Structure 1
Amino acid sequence: MLQDRDSSDSQTQVATLAALESPIFKRLWAASWSYYTYRSMELAVLTWLVLEITNSPFQVALVSASRAAPMFFLGLFAGSIADRFSKYSVMAIGQFLNICAVIFISLLLFLDEAKPIPIYFAVGLTGFAWALDFIARRAYLASLFKGRSLTNAMSLDSGALISSNLTGPILGTALIRWFGFSGSYIGIAFLALLGFALMLSLNRDQRTTLKGVNPLLALSEAISTAKAYKNVAAVVLLTAVFNIFAWPITTQIPVIARDDLNAPEIMYGLLVGGIGAGAIAGAILLAKFNPKRRGYVYTAGTLLFLVASFIFAFSPWYLASLTLLFIAGMGLVCFATMQPLLVVEAVPPELRGRALGAVALAIGVSPPGMLGIGIAAGLIGSRSSVAILTFIGIIVVAFVAWRYPVLRE
């Protein structure tokens, strides 16, 4: 493990960019930025493409649901893989699968054969890769840092993840405007290959065993870990709530942008980019102040995202909508940073993959929320469906925070 500046004193301040002083983390962060930006570009491009092809809010929601579904079915399995095998190898395999999906969609676009069903299939493959990468990458970070240095590293990684919602959608939609959907995938392919190349430059870690992974055993281990550690159980529950009532609203942003705010694709990219801009601001603040009340920040970030999204549902003005999504982004980075941090510090190193697998299962429950909001949007409109879902979410989060004191600490 890299030397932790505050290993004996949790009160010591950590510089905002301290983790980047590590050559290993610097390369990992660059690889993460390429990977996260490619993912955001891809989602923005494909949701707009499906909206243009189908004019269906439900089928637009299916794009995000297809990406999220593998996390539910494979998250626990991936958690045991991350514990038992080299995290470097798990991440590299995930990156290779992403490249395969990019090549597949690129061929469909160049052959003018892009249809919703093959798009859902390819996005599902990237979702499988994400299930592997999400757990392995965070467990890899926990093997490099500890204490408040780990908080700093997680903050910077989460900042790269969620701020990609600024660079990715803007780049993707700008490429659509200038070069069409096929041209946009040239940029996506470049970033996917760059992320893979940077990943291969990392130091290999050691796997702990050569045993095979039993999916039922993985499920049992993750559930047992969550039951044994109350902090993990609280994080898993609030994560599930966020992914049912909060994150699904992002599937309706392209519909609201085009049909309610009369925004073209580049303005849609900027609108989604508001989330990323807010995430950048929030990540800088988290890395700078390194808050000790992590459960409180985790819960407050969840509520901030929900409240801002609820008001967004009623905003008739583009600039106001952009501002509200900026605020939502600040809440999102608080949620995303504290989520794995609360888990990896609550369990022994040998259980981190399984504990994060339980979190991955909770992340994977978002498809029902995405499908539900897509169906509702077709019946009562995207704005009304966003307002109803987020209002219910605010109430549920308040109850969960009351039920688990760790979420207020």
Structure 2
Amino acid sequence: MDAIAAQSPRLFALPDFRRLWTVGTIVFMVRWLEMLAVSLVTWEATGSAFTVTMLGMLRILPMGLFGAALGALADRVEARSALLFIVLASLATSFALALLAATGKLQVWHLAVASFVNGLAWAADNPVRRLMIGQVVGTTLLGRAMSFDVGSNNASRMAGPLASGIIFAAAGAQGTFALSCLLYLIALHAALTLRYRSGVAAATESFATRLAAGFAAVRADRRLQGTLCVTIIFNIWGWPFTSLIPVVAAERLGLGPEANGLLTSMDGVGAFAGALAMAAWAKPSRFARCYMGGCITCLLAITAFGLAPHPVLAGAALLLTGAGQACFAVMQATLVYLAAPPELRGRVLGILSLCIGLGPIGFLHIGMLADWVGAAMACVATGLEGLLALALTRRLWRNLF
């Protein structure tokens, strides 16, 4: 498969890459569609920035709880079957939310349960779908494949909140969740038509042994240690601010649902542009610099977003956060995939999910700060704290260069 992929520079000429990319694009789109709707419903119901951030936290929590375990189990199940299960579970969750919203019975605890279920699907993305992408396209095209995959995520961050804001204003939360169901049906068709089969590894090792082997691979490679260290910092101090964008827009800038969705989409516009730039210009020799530069840019821009006194300036800051996040996200999975031993990639990608899953610490932190000093100043504080954390851990991530 590596040899076949290496002979063709055209990723989208590979049918299974197109299908995997389609599934990922739709899952990403639904995530951003629903994230704004969930934030708006929760804010209207509770008026609590802390509660809004907790709903965002629940989407990340399963990565911390189950990320490493899912990685250890990834090659013990057939990958296409696992992907089908993930899409079906997500479809069922969105359908339940649409039904509850349409009947006027939707409550915040329903959104909390749904956020956790969707978080389980997110936790399985690295050790299942993205591992499949690497196996389908080969290591030669992996950087470009991840750039396009992250680019679709970022395009959905651009279109999803904008569409969600318009739909929410016109039809309420039920409109957003109904659209999610339709999109998941397309993803289900793409997953059903996948030709790639991973097979199932023979049960020659216990679960504990498999899990330990993944952690041993990380301990043995300083590049993996540095990459995962930066991942932890980004997900504690960088990523959680996204849950407060709608709150800052409503509370500090006084924006309604449509304008709120437009401002929130600016993060995705910058991320989409950043991912396209990575696909065009990033070379293996620059991967580490793109990774670190993206993380630093994002943290600086988060600080600027919290200080912005006007929607235009806030939108400009979000363009920069998105561009930084794109560089970071493209290289995150790529660096881990390339550094991990081939036979342990699923397990190490599961550990990557575990590190991403430490994000709930950041959501708790920024949520409590937001209730204490306001959402905008909470963003300023976390941006500065993240930069300090990078400075203090330089001895680990300098091994990337």
TM-score by length of 1: 0.93
CA distance in structure 1 between the aligned counterparts of 2:59 and 2:179, rounded to whole angstroms: 20
The answer on 1:265 being equivalent to 2:266 is no
Report the counterpart of residue 77 of structure 1 in structure 2. 69
Paired residue for 1:405?
A: 398
**1:44 is aligned with what amino acid?**
L
1:295 corresponds to which residue? 288
Deviation readout 1:30-73 (Å, 9 max, x if unpaired): 22211210111011111111011111001100111111101111
The CA RMSD over aligned residues, in Å, is: 1.8
- How far off is 1:349 after superposition? 2.1
Q: Deviations over 1:381-403 (max 9, x none)?
A: 11111111110101212333443
Match of 1:340 in 2: 333
Matched, 1:129 2:121: yes
Q: Tell me, in whole angstroms, the C-alpha distance in 2 between the residues paired with 1:213 and 1:235.
A: 27
In the alignment, the residues of structure 1 paired with residue 219 and residue 317 of structure 2 have an alpha-carbon distance, to the nearest angstrom, of: 37
Match for residue 364 of structure 1 among 328, 340, 357: 357
Structure 2 equivalent of residue 188 of structure 1: 180
Evaluate the alpha carbon distance shift between residue 314 and residue 213 of structure 1 in structure 2; reply closer, same or farther with a 3 A threshold: farther
**Which stretch of the first structure deviates more once superposed, 342-351 or 68-77?**
342-351
Counterpart selection for 1:171 from 158, 163, 174: 163
Are residues 340 and 106 of structure 1, via their aligned partners in 2, closer, same or farther at CA, if it must alter by over 3 Å? Answer: same
How many residues are treated as equivalent by the alignment? 400
Partner Cα separation in structure 2 for residue 4 and residue 316 of structure 1: 53
What amino acid does structure 2 have at the position aligned with 1:42?
E
Shift of 1:148: 3.9
Q: Distance in 2 between matches of 1:200 and 1:242?
A: 35
* Shift in Å, 1:406: 3.2
Note the residue ranges of structure 2 that are not aligned, 5 or more in a row.
Answer: none
Q: Using the alignment, how far apart are the partners of 2:60 and 2:43 within structure 1?
A: 19
Alpha-carbon distance change, 403 to 237 in structure 1, aligned in 2, over 3 angstroms: closer
Give, as a single letter, the amino acid of the residue that structure 1 aligns with 2:348.
Answer: A
Q: CA deviation at 1:312?
A: 0.7
CA–CA separation in structure 2 for the residues paired with 1:222 and 1:114: 41
One of 305, 309, 318 as aligned partner of 1:312: 305
- Equivalents in 2 of 1:146, 1:398: separation in Å? 35
Of 27-36 and 50-59, more deviation after overlay is shown by: 27-36
Cα distance in structure 2, aligned partners of 1:277 and 1:148:
28
Contact 1:27 1:198 in 2 (8 A): yes
- Assess if the C-alpha contact under 8 Å between 1:283 and 1:333 holds in 2: yes
CA distance in 1, matches of 2:381, 2:346: 35
SS of the residue aligned with 2:161? Answer: helix
State the shift of 1:212 in Å. 9.8
CA change 1:5–1:145 in 2 (3 A) is: closer
Match of 2:16 among 24, 49, 70: 24
Q: Within 2, Cα distance between the matches of 1:130 and 1:402? A: 31
Q: TM-score scaled by structure 2? A: 0.95
2:291·2:328 contact (CA, 8 Å) conserved in 1?
yes
Q: Residue type matched to 2:291 in 1?
A: Y
Q: Is the 1:295–1:406 contact (alpha carbons within 8 Å) kept by the matching residues of 2? A: no
Contact 1:245-1:369 within 8 A present in 2 as well: yes
Provide the C-alpha distance between the structure 2 equivalents of 1:264 and 1:38, rounded to a whole number of angstroms: 21
In structure 2, relative to structure 1, the CA distance for the partners of 1:23 and 1:169 (3 Å cut) is: same
Query: How far apart in 1 are the matches of 2:188 and 2:6?
Result: 32
CA distance in 2 between counterparts of 1:210 and 1:97 reads 27
Q: Determine if contact 1:148/1:290 at 8 Å carries over to the other structure.
A: no
Shift of 1:173: 1.3
- Report the equivalent of 1:396: 389
Contact 1:83 1:351 in 2 (8 A): no
Structure 1 residues without counterparts, runs of 5 or longer: 8-13
Q: Give the counterpart of 1:244 among 214, 233, 236.
A: 236
Structure 2 CA distance for partners of 1:244 and 1:111, relative to 1, 3 Å:
same
